[in-house]
Copies of this chain bind each other. A is one copy, B any other.
């Protein structure tokens, strides 16, 4: 039987985000997301995507046009989204987006946001968990990594209460952060966001982590903020300690040169963020591991295409994360469960989210033994808690942040901060 879309809601929400440092600056006190609900009669499919103004405007414009589509008609979904995006004023579609969500990626972003909800509906209609629909789980326990950040103790806004994680601007504090996070979630690998403090502090942090957690795979991600010389110098010390070296320098050519000169496996979520980027990277041998992210690769099915491409070209496949909540976490987990070569532990910002800010029933999805479990509940396996959603929407309405701006936020701390890259 055909099952048709009867209604779509897009709800912007905001949730507290700690003062996490990165190459661009620092996280603002709130992160934005869009929660997508796609109704098909009695069935409700969920999605979660960026909440920045341009994406939100596009999602909101597209939503009413989806009524009448069959829940399996992903080609129809793409057609309708293209039609609706073509109607948007160029300025709206061209404004600055969150990292990984550049304007050129708007089609892929919007498609993905709704595709996950369509797939959730398809799985619910079949009475199957989403991983079954995606080809069947090859792992029920999906490993994630401990995603460490250098951070300040509290936001510069005095009205924002401090988070529970405390300051982390030294190797010792990073090791303490890792210990706390691993005690809480059992992660079996560690990623350190870098490109923010002087490289010697960041390298020393990896060395300290390596001593504190012998045998645990370590990754470092300077987000393209290092010069070639800095990345080359760092490679000598980091090389023996890390599982992969993520975006140390900017650009396909820079990454290709760095790999030629160091032989280290380079990973990216910056120089390969689309199929076109994949092609260009293959020409240059720029990267050895691609960090997928269904939010900007065009959905779960497209990420499975990417998985086959990585297999074909002998590249590894891992997973990137932006700040997100439980709907995205479950989409990521079901995808990784059903994609055999997505075998690196996935990134997630989820430990940085406070339970009170989650919008799914029961609060935060458990991470145990470093893994998110995918079960047999039909679809994504999470439901919306309407009270929680209303609260998160009220937070969005209360705050003035409408587009992520890590650079602007950092200038509140340091008006001279230029954001010029490479930073080191």
Residues in chain A within 8 A of chain B (CB atoms): 1-2, 70, 72-76, 79, 125-128, 132-133, 135-138, 275-276, 278-279, 282, 301-302, 304-305, 308-309, 311-314, 338, 340
Contact = CB atoms under 8 A, between A and B. Distances in A.
A138 B82 CA distance: 14
A151 B65 CA distance: 54
A136 B308 contact: no
B309 A133 contact: no
A338 B75 contact: yes
B311 A275 contact: yes
A243 B282 CA distance: 29
Given A308-B305, A309-B305, A136 B73 contact: yes
Contact of A127 (B1, B74, B276, B308): B1
A207 B206 CA distance: 69
A307 B282 CA distance: 18
Report copies per complex.
2
Contacts of A79: 138
A73 B135 contact: yes
Given A126-B125, A302-B308, A138 B278 contact: no
Contacts of A70: 132, 136
Given A70-B136, A75-B135, A279-B313, 18 more contacts: A1-B127, A1-B128, A2-B128, A72-B132, A72-B133, A73-B132, A75-B136, A75-B137, A75-B138, A76-B136, A79-B138, A126-B126, A275-B311, A278-B312, A279-B314, A302-B308, A304-B305, A308-B309
A275 B313 CA distance: 9
A127 B128 CA distance: 15
Contacts of A2: 127-128, 132
A132 to B, nearest CB: 5
Nearest to A136: B73
8 residue pairs, one from A and one from B, having the closest CB atoms? A73-B136, A305-B308, A275-B312, A75-B136, A1-B127, A74-B135, A72-B132, A75-B135
A377 B127 CA distance: 22
